Amino acid sequence: MTLGWIHPGLVLILGAWVLPLLRGRIKRAAMLLLPAAALVLCLASTPGTHGVVRVLGQELVLGRVDATSLVFACVFSLMACIGMVFALRVEDDSRHITALTYAGSALGVTFAGDLLTLYVFWEVMAIASTLLVWQSREPSAVAAGFRYLLVHVVGGLALLAGIVLHWSRTGSLAFEDMGAFSGGAAWSLILVAFLLNAAVPPLGAWLPDAYAEATVTGAVFMTAFTTKSAVYVLIRGFAGTELLVWLGAAMAIYGVVYAVLENDARRLLAYHIISQVGYMVCGVGIGTELAINGTTAHAFAHILYKALLFMGAGAVLQTTGLRKLSEMGGLYRTMPKTLGLYMVGAFAISAVPLFSGFVSKSMVVSAAGETHRTAVFLMLTLASAGTFLHTGLKLPYYMFFGREAHRPPDRRGREPPANMLAAMALAALACILLGVFPGLLYPHLPNPVDYAPYTLQHVTSTLGLLGFTALGFFLLLEHLDPEPTISLDTDWFYRRGAAAFVKRIQRPLARLESGTVGEIYEFVIRRPVLGAATLLRRFDSVVVDSALVGAGRSTRSLSRLLKTAASGHAQHYGLLMAAGLLALVALAMLAR
């Protein structure tokens, strides 16, 4: 193993296990130091191939460092820092270990240069994130976590199958672009696995299901890693795949449509993750230099502003216990700072000029424009309007303003603790900095950047788009009132459908098992055998009786001896066997 480069992911995973041994201030310091150390290691990494190991006769690359992997790794580490600040006051150590393991394995996926390493970290991510869902301990969370686990196991199995097929065909485990194998079984399986983690419909219903049930602090971590690491591996392996363009555009709209109907605040934001990741998937599909840059930049910005949004909604959940929009309102009075920071995130996601979304999302949309994809361009722009509609208008309106319903005093909410506000402020700062100085990010993007976001045309049309979306919102306000309903999503197939299917198979199987086979056993084997045994016993006693007349006593004592042998006392059997075995061996040795 080449020295000189320490894997930031391993620092997080292994370092996390030190936390339970520490106490008080030192523990808190460690909680912040670990991700900070990871970030420093990422920033200090030099491009190249590090951490090469030989396992199972294959060469595994643990540290493939280049522009693409570095930028993702840096934002993942930064996110881990912000997340730990947000979770600083959580007492439960297992949550910290899980969160850091999750972040660390995401880094592992990012730096993986071969498919086997990728697979190992992929599975660790799935397990760690499942634990994050389960840790909220509500019955609904336990059920949602189990569904999440099974879905990700399926994804993992598809990935494994694809890797095994790929290795058989090519003899190499290297993780490179898979365009050459387009359409093959291995290609399809690996793509499906990646798409599942990226929450592409119809494989994405797990995301709103689980993210709304996770703990307040856990959900913040979850928004960043699973989907964005999936985007990263899509960039690596499937850049330029035409299918992704359409999947991405459809995804962007799908998320927005479902968000209109949503009542649960975090579920609504979760559907928006799907929508925003749609932009990224679309960008990967377009595959031009600008598109890949846009995807990367958008992923970077998205991690930060989505975390901010979830932190805001999580803060509301924590201080008021409310999660349904139909029950919230009037919190602007008691939580103004949260509102303000939340709005920074909302403006960022809506691509308001001077915020991070503006300089990143527009790259993808422009790339669609450059390649003359009219429909895609229109779809993505429509989704932009929709994003602002929900995240920038509907959510804050109903969460913080909205109906002035009567509320018991303690549910009025109050500002969350200082560490949560600090975490939100950090993320908000990043969103603004990136928006005002895109030059901070652009040089680190995979391809050379030849794009200027702040053109007059672009700024004014964006402002128009957003402004008139707001107009539409206020005009149609009555129609938007959130209703206490849930929406059917593709998870119906495995929630209701699969359960019913399995039950239908199980009943006849169980009946076969205990019924038919059991009955065969009963009538064909057990009864005849026992019957024969009883017969023999009766015959035996008759013989003994009649023999009493004749050879009499000797026979009787013989049969008594036999009965003792058949006493069922296994010590005797054992002794007999052991004695017999010894005799056999002795015989054999003598006979040689």
């707001």: which residue's tokens? 470
170-208 in b/e form (b: 16+ CB < 10 A) is eeebebeebeebeeeebbbbbbbbbbbbbbbbebbbbbb
Give CA torsion, residues 530, 534, 539, 541, to 10 deg.
140
CB closer to other proteins, 33 vs 480: 480
Dihedrals φ, ψ of 385, to 5°? -60, -45
**Residue 480 in contact with other proteins, rule: CB under 8 A:** yes
In this chain, which of 488, 548, 566, 583 binds other proteins, going by CB under 8 A? 488
**Residue 167 in contact with other proteins, rule: CB under 8 A:** yes
CB 266 within 8 A of CB 220: no
Smallest gap, in angstroms, from Cβ of residue 7 to other proteins?
A: 15
In this chain, which of 535, 548, 561, 581 binds other proteins, going by CB under 8 A? 581
In this chain, which of 2, 506, 546, 554 binds other proteins, going by CB under 8 A? 506
**Residue 553 in contact with other proteins, rule: CB under 8 A:** no
**Residue 174-193 contact track with other proteins, rule CB under 8 A, x = bound:** -----------x--------
Smallest gap, in angstroms, from Cβ of residue 511 to other proteins?
A: 11
CA angle 66/72/75 to nearest 5° reads 130
211 to each of 263, 381, 541, how far by Cα in Å? 14, 26, 75
**Residue 55-94 contact track with other proteins, rule CB under 8 A, x = bound:** -x--------------------------------------
Q: Which one of 22-30, 225-233, 301-309, 328-336 is the stretch in contact with other proteins (CB under 8 A)?
A: 328-336
Task: Please give the Cα distance from 370 to 311 (Å, whole number).
Answer: 36
Give CA torsion, residues 296, 300, 301, 305, to 10 deg.
140
**Residue 455 in contact with other proteins, rule: CB under 8 A:** yes
In this chain, which of 405, 551, 562, 584 binds other proteins, going by CB under 8 A? 584
Task: Please give the Cα distance from 559 to 183 (Å, whole number).
Answer: 78
Smallest gap, in angstroms, from Cβ of residue 573 to other proteins?
A: 7
Task: Please give the Cα distance from 87 to 423 (Å, whole number).
Answer: 9
CB closer to other proteins, 549 vs 591: 591
Listed residue (85, 156, 77) closest to 121, CA to CA: 156
Smallest gap, in angstroms, from Cβ of residue 36 to other proteins?
A: 27
Task: Please give the Cα distance from 8 to 103 (Å, whole number).
Answer: 10
In this chain, which of 443, 505, 550, 553 binds other proteins, going by CB under 8 A? 505
In this chain, which of 26, 548, 565, 577 binds other proteins, going by CB under 8 A? 577
**Residue 171 in contact with other proteins, rule: CB under 8 A:** no
**Residue 146 in contact with other proteins, rule: CB under 8 A:** yes
CB atoms within 10 A of CB 499: 10
Q: Which one of 172-180, 217-225, 312-320, 584-592 is the stretch in contact with other proteins (CB under 8 A)?
A: 584-592
Q: How many chain residues interact with other proteins (CB under 8 A)?
A: 108
Q: What's the Rg (C-alpha) of the chain?
A: 32
In this chain, which of 89, 496, 560, 563 binds other proteins, going by CB under 8 A? 496
**Residue 501 in contact with other proteins, rule: CB under 8 A:** no
In this chain, which of 40, 67, 164, 544 binds other proteins, going by CB under 8 A? 164
Which residues from 231-260 bind other proteins, rule CB under 8 A?
Answer: 256-258, 260
**Residue 160 in contact with other proteins, rule: CB under 8 A:** yes
Task: Please give the Cα distance from 89 to 87 (Å, whole number).
Answer: 6
513-524 in b/e form (b: 16+ CB < 10 A) is eeeeeeeeeeee
CB closer to other proteins, 521 vs 539: 521
Which residues from 514-533 bind other proteins, rule CB under 8 A?
Answer: 517-518, 521, 525-526, 529
Q: Which one of 3-11, 163-171, 286-294, 305-313 is the stretch in contact with other proteins (CB under 8 A)?
A: 163-171
The token pair at 247 is 């999947």
**Residue 20-59 contact track with other proteins, rule CB under 8 A, x = bound:** ------------------------------------x---
CA angle 227/268/215 to nearest 5° reads 70
Q: Which one of 4-12, 219-227, 272-280, 448-456 is the stretch in contact with other proteins (CB under 8 A)?
A: 448-456
Dihedrals φ, ψ of 62, to 5°? -90, -20
In this chain, which of 26, 43, 452, 542 binds other proteins, going by CB under 8 A? 452
Which residues from 387-406 bind other proteins, rule CB under 8 A?
Answer: 389, 401
Listed residue (363, 360, 365) closest to 441, CA to CA: 360
**Residue 120 in contact with other proteins, rule: CB under 8 A:** yes
**Residue 583 in contact with other proteins, rule: CB under 8 A:** no
Smallest gap, in angstroms, from Cβ of residue 338 to other proteins?
A: 11
Task: Please give the Cα distance from 79 to 76 (Å, whole number).
Answer: 5
* DSSP, residue by residue, 200-249: -TTS-THHHHHHTTS-HHHHHHHHHHHHHHHHHHHHHHHTT-HHHHHHHH
Listed residue (163, 165, 266, 145) closest to 206, CA to CA: 145
Listed residue (210, 178, 215) closest to 99, CA to CA: 215
